[in-house]
Amino acid sequence: MATESPVLSDVEALESNPLLQDFVFPPFDVVEPKHVRPGIRGLLKKLESDLTELEKTVEPTWPKLVEPLEKIVDGLQVVWGMVNHLKTVKDCPELRLAIEEVQPEKVKFELRLGQSKPIYEAFKAMKESSCWQTMSGAHKRIVEAKIKEAVLNGVSLEDDKREQFNKIEQELEKISQKFSENVLDATKNFEKLITDKREIEGLPATALGLAAQAAVSKGHENATAENGPWVITLDAPSYMSVMQHAQNRSLREEVYRAFVTRASCENLDNIPIIDQILKLRLEKAKLLQYNNYAEVSMEVKMATVEKAEELLEKLRNASWGAAVQDMEDLKSFSKEQGAIESNDLNHWDINFWSERLRESKYDINEEELRPYFSLPKVMDGLFSLAKMLFDINVEPADGEAPVWNKDVRFFRVKDSSGNPIAYFYFDPYSRPSEKRGGAWMDEVVGRSRVLARDGAPARLPVAHMVCNQTPPVGNKPSLMTFREVETVFHEFGHALQHMLTKEDEGLVSGIRGIEWDAVELPSQFMENWCYHRDTLMSIAKHYETGENLPEEVYLKLLAARTFRAGSLSLRQLRFASVDLELHTKYVPGGSETIYDVDQRISEKTQVLPPLLEDRFLCSFSHIFAGGYSAGYFSYKWAEVLSADAFSAFEDAGLDNNKAIVETGRKFRETILALGGGKSPLEVFVAFRGREPSPDALLRHNGLLAVAASA
């Protein structure tokens, strides 16, 4: 006989809610959508009363202002971070609905906190006090950042203007969320079933395996890589394999058109959402007395609008001639191969013929390299590099923290004395039905003296790294493309800055408090090591035979590094320039549409103009649902910093182990250790001994000579 489970009282339900438990590692395995509403509301209620108490008792001292404030900020950041993280890796309609319902309450609390007059006045008093001169650099950075943050949060606005500002913030949060849901759903909605193998001629074995696996998950239980049926999706591993390898031109065209028009029609249309986001951002900027939203964005960057535009133009000049040549090379090559489309190459031909040209020019086939890059070997090599450069040990700690999916790994990071200094999760594989595309790193908790427990000097940082690479097929490990290897190195660079911080002030430890255009420095810096002979040879071992990647293949990879560098550079410059234009000169609802802007910018940044029906902006989540609005240029800005930082190792001698170790320790003690406690320019100069120069970036991309003559 079935017994009914006892009904919990509200108090008991809250007490047992996993979001409200006191945890070292979040209970990711047991959080369900049903916990979100009561959990977030219970948390907000507690934080509201903590804030009321702080406003009553606040004094312009560290213990009476900054420490209690950090506890409030962190309390929300950690729990909301958990829920938001689950939405990106384990999305479902119930979770969406729950978040949608409590989000306005969370934003309302953030606005109350951000616009708190007593806290704002206390920070101003601190800056004007006699002890300001003797304060540490990190303390000064916190005080100045909090004053600026309050102003940008509308603390100085009068009643009706503040009300309008708050409405804008609520609406922006809501529609940005909707934007990314539309992208996920539109990506998920496209599936093309193929039963005739001739239609997918050219697709490599890994792609066929993946397409058959997708077919099985869609109900074709007998699908096999050999005999199909196969399902093509817009998820990155599937999309890219079609664009690079499918000989069927009409299939490439169909998949390309579907990809660049994602989330632009019917019930998943992001066009009105984009217009509304741009309109609201401009209104917000005007309320804060700025001319446009880009000026607001630059308040928390190293750059200014002018400096960002100047860098983009310098790089565009250096890249244009090379990109024009890239296109000529493709035309000539495809003509030699007898391609009927050679005089009329279109967007769905570029990746395909680029791959063929790369194979012919460097005799490198991305797919044939996969067996040399198995995920376990890549991670071992990455951790060995981190040990050499930064004197840390990374070891598996699976089972010590709950995870959200069986494929998620958990690791511990130890210093040279064997003491744990940080932890991180790694979620490597693509799961298109529930997981956002792309790759990212985020914090779970940050290093903090105030939030230490059990007598420890500081709470240790915990990060997560999320990628979307090809999952293992059958009994083979995940076999990676070289680009996927670079992506893992990139995300680990972010994680290192979060985990190796020596800053104990939680508000500026790790990646917190670092200007946004400097935040990509460590991640892009780590990518350079994928081309370092010893590092690459340590990871590139055949997963079955254990044989090393042949030396001549390494040399070809090195030579191919600058292949189509002009074109790839222009692609990023298009995104960055459109983003800046939309947030500076564009007038929402004016005579020019966002697509007119894209077409106009593309005339100078794309050798092959986008299709008139290109709607890539509808899936440009970085700027409409991420942190890169009026900030996409940061990738290029930070690339200048990261290439210049890596050139310190080149100057020291990449084959000189002693010099590499010394330079690595210096990088750790500056770029990775200081967090947001010092300005990024000061941190860079402390490492490099001078201000940054773009020469190293242009040299790495094979564009330096072009820039000099331009």
Residues with active-site annotation? 491
Q: What's the CA gap between 296 and 289, in Å, rounded?
A: 9
Query: Is residue 6 classed exposed, middle or buried when 0-12, 13-18 and 19+ CB atoms within 10 A define those classes?
Result: exposed
Instruction: Describe the strand order of the beta sheet including 440-445 as a list of residue ranges.
Output: 393-396, 409-414, 420-429, 462-469, 440-445
List C-alpha distances in Å: 285 to 151, 224, 281, 295, 378.
12, 55, 6, 8, 45
Residue 146 CA to its chain's centroid (Å): 25
List C-alpha distances in Å: 233 to 213, 219, 433, 480, 620.
11, 15, 11, 19, 18
Q: What's the CA gap between 679 and 211, in Å, rounded?
A: 48
3-class state of residue 25 by DSSP:
coil
Give me the long-range contacts of 236-241 (CB less than 8 A, separation at least 24). Answer: 236/430, 236/437, 236/438, 236/468, 237/207, 237/210, 237/430, 237/468, 237/469, 237/470, 238/207, 238/210, 238/211, 238/214, 240/351, 241/203, 241/204, 241/206, 241/207, 241/210
Structure token digits, residue 525: 């810096």
Across 478-529, the runs of DSSP E, i.e. the strands, are none
What residues have CB less than 8 Å from 20, skipping those under 6 apart? Answer: 14, 39, 42, 43, 79
User: Tokens 């809610």 correspond to what residue?
Assistant: 17
- Spell 623-632 as b/e; 16+ CB within 10 A means b: bbbbebbbbb
- Spell 263-299 as b/e; 16+ CB within 10 A means b: bbeeebebbebbebbbebbbbbbeebebebbbbbbbe
Structure token digits, residue 155: 């603390």
444 with 425: CB under 8 angstroms? Answer: yes
- Spell 322-332 as b/e; 16+ CB within 10 A means b: bbeebbebbbe
Sign of dihedral through CA atoms 325, 328, 333, 334? positive
Q: Assign 3-class secondary structure to 279-320.
A: HHHHHHHHHCCCCCHHHHHHCCCCCCHHHHHHHHHHHHHHHH
Q: What's the CA gap between 556 and 552, in Å, rounded?
A: 6
